[in-house]
Amino acid sequence: MLKRIVLMAVFVFAVGLGMAHAELKVDIIAGNVEPISVAVQKFETVDKAMAKDAATIRTVVEEDLKRTGIFHIVNHNAFPEYVKMDAMPAFKSWAAIKARVLVQSKLTKTKDGKYQLDFFVWDVNGQEQIEAQSLAASKQSVRRLGHIMADAIYERLTGEVGYFDTQIVFIAESGPIDRRVKRMAIMDQDGYGMRYLSDAKTFVMSPHFSPNMQSIVFLSYYDDDPMVWILDLNTGAQRRLGQFGGMNFAPRFSPDGTRVALSLVKNGITHIYEYDIENNYLKQLTTGDSINTSPSYSPDGRKIAFNSDRGGSQQIYVMDLDNWSIKRITYGAGRYATPAWSPDGQFIAFTKIADDTFYVGVMSPDGKNEKILAGGWFMEAPSWAPGSRRLVYYETERAEDDIERVSHIRSVDITGQNIYDIELPDGISGTEPTWSPRLP
């Protein structure tokens, strides 16, 4: 039985210190910003047996911040001193090595055996403490403690929602192209802890998280019958979404988790439908003879972006669910597909195909301000991180023999900067990634 590994009793609270809040902020709106230097001290521990876990948390924090491209992690060998939690830093010494932020931490155990992580964040130039928090979790959740701590630092310094305490569900592919095995898998956003959610016998596609992170909706070819299924992440139980009388695919949860938008093929025509999970009610949203697919809800659940060839070529349209009006929003050169609405509602990500090249980009919900973020031989399936700062997508390399084709899961900043691969186990290619909401 599949079981989701959950953090046991995570408590996050600010420690009231009556501190002044300095105006240390990282400007991350524009591209090519100069990284801000962050020094993360070695964690204090009262038990030598905890030193290894403390080092792990420190590494997780540093790697999370470093991957953003907007922070520089100061080399440990350059540290001018070691500052205990009950002491004030020598700010001039830290400023001399060009550190702008200093992080102090202490790892202890609570009476019930959990880990307690306390940390302070200092603005070196302002000579002020700007953040103080205490976190508690089970010993098995040390990496998640690091992700939550990194989120707190990121949010304090940028003013935006952190995305480190998240996961990515994707299709893990292995084997030669003519005998490809596709399994649904899940991992932390940094690639750690990958585990399979489906077996090697059933062909699966298009996984997407529910808003509450309790389930995943996906397409399964169980018994060679392509249908939409739901996986319960807590119990591992799977159930078919409904009996729709035709091939259905490309499912997406509504923002409140009560509905699923999907594509359904009937009489050779593909339309967008909406399924009410609680009332078991299926409603057709699009009409006509065109192909309509890849629905994506707006954050308020009142609109759906989708792609259709109703205008003669594959383009992106937006439907208002209040009055069922439909408006085309893409008019650039090429074909557009796989729209994905950002969590803050300000952007729609897309795949674009033009001049034999695939692109991933973003635009305003009205189709204006198009910006290409990445391009290559084949790339698709953009998905947003919480906070709408980064996207994940997959890119397939062109293989000369067409046998050993490799697909990478990549992440890109909304400015088009700082593209990096999320490392997967040897022999595994990754496709169709979806970024989760923040973990509960």
Last residue of a domain, one of 158, 188, 214: 158
The tokens for 126 are 């302002």
The answer to whether residue 6 is domain-embedded is no
pLDDT value, residue 8: 35
Structure tokens at 64: 């999370």
- In angstroms, the CA 318 to CA 305 distance is 4
CB atoms within 10 A of CB 440: 10
**Domain endpoint, select from 118, 134, 158:** 158
Check whether residue 398 and residue 264 sit in a common domain.
yes
pLDDT of residue 23: 62
pLDDT value, residue 12: 37
Shared domain for 214 and 341, answered yes or no, is: yes
In a domain, 4, yes or no: no
For 80, 151, 215, 236, 392, the CA distances from 65, given in Å and listed in that order, are 22, 9, 29, 33, 17
Query: 147 and 175 share a domain?
Result: no
Same domain, yes or no: 215 and 338 = yes
Residue 198 identity: S
Let me know whether 129 and 208 are in one domain: no
Kindly state whether residue 163 falls inside one of the protein's structural domains. no
Give, for 66, the enclosing helix (H) or strand (E): helix 51-67
The CATH number that applies at residue 208 is: 2.120.10.30
Query: Are residues 382 and 284 both part of a single domain?
Result: yes
Cβ–Cβ under 8 Å, residues 257 and 212? yes
Q: Answer for the pair 146, 56: CB distance below 8 angstroms, yes or no.
A: yes
Distance CA 34, CA 206 (A): 37
Residue 310 included in any domain: yes
Residue 103 included in any domain: yes
Number of domains in the chain: 2
Instruction: Identify the residue whose tokens are 């009476």.
Output: 111
Same domain, 174 and 210: yes
SS3 readout for 292-303: EEEEEECCCCCE
Q: Give the pLDDT confidence score for residue 189 in this predicted structure.
A: 98
> How far, in Å, CA of 241 to CA of 260, rounded?
9
Q: Is there a single domain that holds both residue 193 and residue 115? A: no
CATH code where residue 139 lies: 3.40.50.10070
Regarding whether 172 and 129 lie in a shared domain, the answer is no
Would you state the pLDDT for residue 21? 42
Q: Are residues 152 and 261 in the same domain?
A: no
The per-residue pLDDT for 243 is 77
Up-side HSE of residue 304: CA atoms within 13 Å toward CB? Answer: 30
pLDDT of residue 30: 53
Cβ contact 316:328 at 8 Å: yes
In a domain, 120, yes or no: yes
3-state secondary structure of 143: helix
3 assigned to some structural domain: no
What is the span of the domain harbouring residue 387? Answer: 168-435
DSSP state of 49: G
* DSSP codes, 331-346: -SSSEEEEEEE-TTSS
Q: Per-residue pLDDT tens, the chain, 440 aa: give them.
A: 223 233 333 333 333 333 344 466 665 555 557 899 999 999 999 888 899 999 999 999 999 999 999 999 999 999 999 999 999 999 999 999 999 999 999 999 998 889 999 999 999 999 999 999 999 999 899 999 999 999 999 999 999 999 999 999 999 999 877 788 999 999 999 999 999 999 988 889 999 999 999 999 999 988 778 899 999 999 999 999 877 877 888 999 999 999 999 999 988 899 999 999 999 999 999 999 999 999 999 999 999 999 999 999 999 999 999 999 999 999 989 999 999 999 999 999 999 999 999 999 999 999 999 999 999 999 999 999 999 999 999 999 877 665 667 899 999 999 998 999 999 999 999 999 999 999 98
Cβ 144 vs Cβ 152: under 8 Å: no
Beta-bridged to residue 227, according to DSSP, are 220
If we measure between CA atoms, which residue out of 374, 437, 439 comes closest to residue 410? Answer: 374
Based on the domain organization, do 213 and 331 belong to the same domain? yes
Measured over the CA atoms of residue 63, residue 64, residue 65 and residue 67, the dihedral's sign is positive
Of 132, 158, 184, which marks where a domain is finished? 158
Q: Model's pTM, two decimal places?
A: 0.91
3-state SS of the chain: helix, strand, coil percent to 5?
Answer: 10, 40, 45
φ and ψ at residue 110, rounded to 5 degrees: -85, 170
State whether 287 and 413 are in the same domain.
yes
Measured CA to CA, the distance from residue 306 to residue 293 in angstroms comes to 6
